[in-house]
């Protein structure tokens, strides 16, 4: 049902903005949530946090004139109660039903769609290259991106199409012109913003190694091969070819200080190897990933920061709030990084998580083989990313 299809509640219910809900969670305030989406949607992705108490009771249980007592008993007791749904209509109705029964309730404006529009820019304080570096964080899906600003110029790595205007506005706010937009690979969990930014006057850059995947627009953009360097003010973006997650996976060393690894290496896990060639090709890709990590990533200085394109619930942020960590720290903490090849391959193939939602359509869109308007693109990428291997046993805990 669409939001306009729900009856208007008899009791007026206040809204809470997604950014305010995120602020409360970040501040470790106790938050009580009733999620009224279907169980399958809730299971796939939902609002979470160490101080969040959440229950799932689908909205249709509240549509009867007399709501069963056993349904009301499933509603969490904490107040104020935040009621949410997919787009805001069901949650406003259910919140009104509960308000009529004396509950202190608010409903989440625009529902989980609004939650998916939260996109935060966080300074990477341990970056010690020229200029300043920021990490973009999308809590709904765990997507990460990077904005490098130096001497009046800026570059973004792994931009999302939904936030094209945001990158241009942020660069302008920071006194810079956005000159480059880099993709690390053909993403399977979100729609890339590189082409849209290129159309807005930014030089879009994709890995030359992705050509073999059939990228229809590759000749319209700049390409990056191993060892290429791009000047951004006084900083340099160096291309490092890092296949494994995909055959075209490419990392970018930003200012000599942070390696933007895309989906090759995360602060809590390594890449999954099955999204390009499926289960059949996963063992070979896993072996390639092991070689890449050992010979191209872990050979960098121990104090070079790693910044992936995603974070999961298992990731712990650094002191500055970013999901970054020095290579030396990851080697100490992640058992997979010190394993021999056969052991490594067996481990990451042993417990593969579900593939990202809509990943085949997202890949086809990012290859330029099918089209999606802005609304369709936003809907495609709702939900978790699942681009990492399972965290089980990777840390050796």
In sequence order, what DSSP letters do the residues of 170-216 get, joined into one string? HHHHTT-EEEEEE-SS--SSS-B-HHHHHHTT-EEEEEGGGGGGT-T
Residues 139 and 95 in one domain: no
**Residue 244 near residue 275, CB atoms below 8 Å:** no
The residue ranges of the chain whose pLDDT is under 70 are 1-9, 386-388, 390-397
Considering the domain boundaries, does residue 243 fall inside one? yes
Residue 245 in any domain: the answer is yes
Domain membership of residue 140 as a residue range: 120-380
Q: Is residue 311 part of a domain?
A: yes
Do residue 166 and residue 303 come from a single domain?
yes
Count how many domains the chain has.
Answer: 2
Helix pair angle (278-292, 341-350), 10° resolution: 140
Verify that 43 and 126 share a domain, yes or no: no
Of 90, 115, 140, at which residue does a domain stop?
115
pLDDT, tens digit, 9 for 90 and up, residues 130-172: 999 999 999 999 999 999 999 999 999 999 999 999 999 999 9
- 71 and 143 share one domain: no
341/244 Cα distance (integer angstroms): 13
- Taking the whole predicted model, whether its pTM rises above 0.85 is answered as yes
Both 66 and 158 in one domain: the answer is no
Q: Active-site residue 143, yes or no?
A: no
At 37, which CATH number? 3.40.250.10
Instruction: For residue range 193-227, list pLDDT tens digits in order.
Output: 999 999 999 999 999 999 999 999 999 999 999 99
- Whether residue 387 lies inside any domain: the answer is no
Please answer whether residues 72 and 53 qualify as being in contact, where contact means their C-beta atoms are separated by less than 8 angstroms: no
DSSP element (H, E) containing 71: helix 69-72
The one catalytic residue in 85, 240, 327, 336 is 85
Q: Is residue 240 part of a domain?
A: yes
CA–CA gap between residue 170 and residue 156 (Å, rounded) = 10
Angstrom distances, CA of residue 251 to CA of 204, 273, 307, 395: 15, 16, 10, 22
In a domain, residue 136? The reply is yes
Domain boundary among 97, 115, 133: 115
Structure tokens at 182: 């880099």
């Amino acid at each position: 049902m669409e939001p306009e299809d729900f009856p208007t509640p008899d009791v007026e219910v206040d809204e809470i903005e997604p950014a305010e809900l995120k602020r409360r969670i970040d501040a470790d305030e106790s938050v009580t949530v009733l999620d009224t989406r279907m169980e399958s949607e809730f299971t796939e992705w939902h609002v979470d946090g160490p101080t969040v108490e959440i229950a799932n009771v689908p909205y249709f249980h509240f549509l009867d004139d007399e709501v069963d007592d056993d349904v009301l008993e499933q509603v969490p007791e904490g107040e104020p109660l935040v009621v949410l749904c997919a787009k805001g209509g069901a949650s406003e109705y259910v919140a009104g039903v509960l308000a009529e029964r004396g509950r202190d309730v608010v409903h989440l404006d625009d529902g989980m769609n609004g939650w998916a529009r939260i996109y935060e820019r966080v300074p990477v304080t341990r970056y010690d290259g020229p200029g300043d570096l920021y990490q973009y964080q999308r809590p709904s899906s765990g997507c990460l991106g990077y904005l490098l600003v130096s001497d009046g110029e800026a570059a973004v790595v792994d931009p999302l199409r939904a936030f094209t205007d945001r990158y241009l506005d942020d660069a302008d706010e920071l006194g810079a012109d956005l000159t480059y937009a880099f993709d690390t690979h053909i993403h399977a969990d979100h729609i890339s913003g590189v082409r849209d930014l290129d159309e807005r006057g930014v030089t879009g850059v994709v890995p030359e190694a992705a050509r073999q995947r059939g990228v229809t627009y590759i000749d319209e953009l700049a390409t990056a091969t191993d060892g290429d360097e791009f000047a951004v003010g006084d900083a340099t973006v160096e291309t490092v070819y890092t296949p494994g997650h995909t055959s075209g996976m490419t990392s970018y060393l930003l200012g000599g200080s942070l390696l933007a690894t895309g989906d090759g290496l995360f602060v809590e896990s390594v890449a999954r190897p099955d999204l390009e060639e499926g289960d059949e090709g996963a063992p070979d890709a896993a072996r390639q990933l092991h070689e890449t990590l050992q010979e191209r990533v872990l050979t960098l200085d121990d104090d070079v920061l790693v910044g992936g394109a995603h974070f999961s619930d298992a990731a712990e942020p650094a002191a500055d709030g970013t999901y970054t960590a020095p290579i030396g720290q990851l080697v100490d903490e992640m058992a997979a990084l010190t394993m021999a090849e056969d052991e490594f391959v067996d481990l990451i193939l042993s417990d593969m998580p579900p593939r990202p939602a809509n990943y085949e359509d997202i890949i086809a869109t990012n290859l330029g083989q099918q089209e999606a308007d802005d609304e369709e693109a936003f809907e495609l990428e709702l939900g978790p990313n699942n681009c990492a291997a399972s965290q089980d046993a990777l840390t050796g805990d």
